[in-house]
Structure 1
Amino acid sequence: MTEFNLITTSFNAKSTAADVVAGVDLTGRRAVVTGGASGIGVETVRALAGAGAEVTLAVRDVEAGRRTADDVTATTGSKQLHVAPLDLSDQASVAAFVAGWEGPLHVLVNNAGVMYTPERRTREGWELQLATNHLGHFALTTGLHAALAAAGRARVVSLSSVGHVETPVDFDDINFRRRPYDPAVAYGQSKTANALFAVEANRRWSDEGITVNAAHPGAVLTNLTRHMSTEELDAAVASGYEFKTPEQGAATSVLLATSPRLEGVGGRYFDDCNEAARYVPGGPRKGVADHARDPEAAARLWQVSLDLLAAA
């Protein structure tokens, strides 16, 4: 694997989305934020809209999306907000969103996700967390590839998680057909997939001016944690997690989507508004694991994803 000089910024874990976008002018740029009606998605939308971008909230709950759009307009003055239905676990919904998009796309923040869900499967038989967190976003982003290329300088942000350190992608049983289902393992695998997507998408598309990076937003108490028990949340606190506000949780995504410092930078993994160091097994649960930046695994996942979509 290629070693990089880690990119650092003046921001940190305490920085907010508003902090990192201050002074950035996004006038004339168009953005899509999946899951833009809840959690850190709301603050991602607010920061992008506040900087002048035209933002589409791609959401399962359209009414919640409209309420969020109204709130963002009230706080930023921006009226360049749109709401469109998108259920990432439903490939027909993803295809409809892609078909409905017109014109260039400058920023795509793949923010939506599910976490620690009970064992559930999509119509195709795919495990829900992989289907939503990775395959849905894979289909969306590849479907919007032409729009991203048309923008000239486009950025894609793939939200991963430190949970990826728990497991690589199990290519022999990616949908838990044979191994016992474990919500945490399934989540970790999907988040590794999000990081690997950034590696391979950037390799394929950087020559077209499209840069793709992965982000760990940090621990934020949002609706994402609804499937975690009180004991699991307590254990997370006991292990040293410092929970962020949604405004802080959105900061790394917004940094990757907007910072002039990151022009032309891609295929990397960031946390706390800086490029992450290598995760050392057995050490602190922080950084990026080797299996989440392995170019061979990234290329293999891309082909497996194409094959799954083609067979759907």
Structure 2
Amino acid sequence: MATHSKFDGKTEASDVAAAFADQIRGKTILVTGLIREAAATVVGYAEPTIDIVINNAGVMNIPKRTLSPAGVELHLATNHLGHFLFVNLTKAKLSGARIVNLTSNGHALSPIRFSDYNFDKMEIPEEEQPARAACEAFGVPWGVGYLPPIAYGQSKTANILHAIELSKRFKSEGIAAFSVNPGDSYQAVATILVAALDPKLKESPGAYLDNCQITEAAPFAMNEIAAQRLWDLSERLTAERS
């Protein structure tokens, strides 16, 4: 549970900032954008450490299946691999840092398609197929071919799994990662700030937050074996080992 049990979907960013003013004061906070260029700049900062990293860059619902220059489906490449690479490239500055991955409740649409992350195939294992119930709830067509919301959902599941494995692998260096469904425009960045600032969350590294509180993501997005597999796949796809 977060420190303030009364925080919810109606909590505004200013409320969170006021509650955790002591956690903001004197901190170096980084919101990510471009990857290798930005990473090189960050590593060159005079500050010895970065206190908070908010992995925010992303794309959504690209109408036609598109691959990155490296040959990876663009939702996964931008929304996950970019963040994965950035953190690995700036790790020297992240001792004791808190890392926040922006995800979405749309993660529930799809697990990671380890056998077909690029949406090349029309047949994939059942456990990698889109979640029928979530598709129905979101009003999204079900299918194993390329569908923009499903590709987006896969990348958002990756954000959650990345936070889980990142917290596990870098625990000895005091790094804790969290994933956040940022909510609607009313809430703005409130849940993001809870994940970035609430000291009580140190007890729950890798947690998923929604409406300013820790909550459960889809089971496939909380699976530790899937988190390990995604990390290994990400290392191969970025040619960058931590």
Task: Please give the range of the TM-score, normalised by the shorter of the 2 chains.
Answer: 0.7 to 0.9
**1:31 maps to what in 2?**
29
**2:239 maps to what in 1?**
310
Contact 2:2 2:212 (8 Å CA) reproduced = no
1:20 to 13, 16, 22: 16
1:209 to 137, 162, 174: 174
1:291 has 2:223 as partner: no
Contact 1:211 1:264 (8 Å CA) reproduced = no
1:268 has 2:207 as partner: yes
1:165 to 104, 108, 128: 108
Contact 2:2 2:198 (8 Å CA) reproduced = no
TM-score normalised according to structure 1 size: 0.64
User: Secondary structure, in 3 states, of the residue corresponding to 2:69?
Assistant: coil
Check 1:205–1:264 CA distance in 2 against 1; reply closer, same or farther (3 A cut): farther
Distance in structure 1 (CA, Å) of the matches to 2:117 and 2:179: 21
Distance in structure 2 (CA, Å) of the matches to 1:206 and 1:133: 23
Match for 1:109: what amino acid? Answer: I
**1:52 maps to what in 2?**
none
What do residues 120-178 of structure 1 show as CA deviations (whole Å, max 9, x unaligned)?
211111111101000001101111112111xxx31000111111111100000011122
Contact 1:214 1:270 (8 Å CA) reproduced = yes
User: Secondary structure, in 3 states, of the residue corresponding to 2:179?
Assistant: strand
User: Secondary structure, in 3 states, of the residue corresponding to 2:10?
Assistant: coil
**2:125 maps to what in 1?**
none
**1:74 maps to what in 2?**
none
Distance in structure 1 (CA, Å) of the matches to 2:89 and 2:204: 22
Question: Where do 5+ consecutive residues of structure 2 fail to align?
Answer: 123-144
1:114 has 2:59 as partner: yes
User: Secondary structure, in 3 states, of the residue corresponding to 2:209?
Assistant: strand
User: How many residues of Structure 1 are paired with residues of Structure 2 in the alignment?
Assistant: 210
User: Secondary structure, in 3 states, of the residue corresponding to 1:12?
Assistant: coil
Distance in structure 1 (CA, Å) of the matches to 2:211 and 2:57: 19
Match for 2:181: what amino acid? Answer: H
What do residues 14-42 of structure 1 show as CA deviations (whole Å, max 9, x unaligned)?
001111120413232111113xxxxxxxx
% identical aligned pairs: 41
Residue 198 of structure 1, CA deviation: 0.6
Residue 264 of structure 1, CA deviation: 4.6
1:132 to 78, 87, 91: 78
TM-score normalised according to structure 2 size: 0.82
**1:224 maps to what in 2?**
none
Residue 205 of structure 1, CA deviation: 1.1
**1:63 maps to what in 2?**
none
User: Secondary structure, in 3 states, of the residue corresponding to 2:94?
Assistant: helix
**1:91 maps to what in 2?**
none
Distance in structure 2 (CA, Å) of the matches to 1:20 and 1:7: 11
Match for 1:267: what amino acid? Answer: G
Contact 1:195 1:214 (8 Å CA) reproduced = yes
**1:55 maps to what in 2?**
none
Match for 1:162: what amino acid? Answer: N
Match for 1:207: what amino acid? Answer: S
**1:188 maps to what in 2?**
153
**2:37 maps to what in 1?**
96
Distance in structure 2 (CA, Å) of the matches to 1:290 and 1:139: 25
Contact 1:169 1:193 (8 Å CA) reproduced = yes
Moved over 4 A (4+): none
More contact order relative to length (CA 8 Å, sep ≥ 6) = 2
CA RMSD of aligned residues (A): 1.6
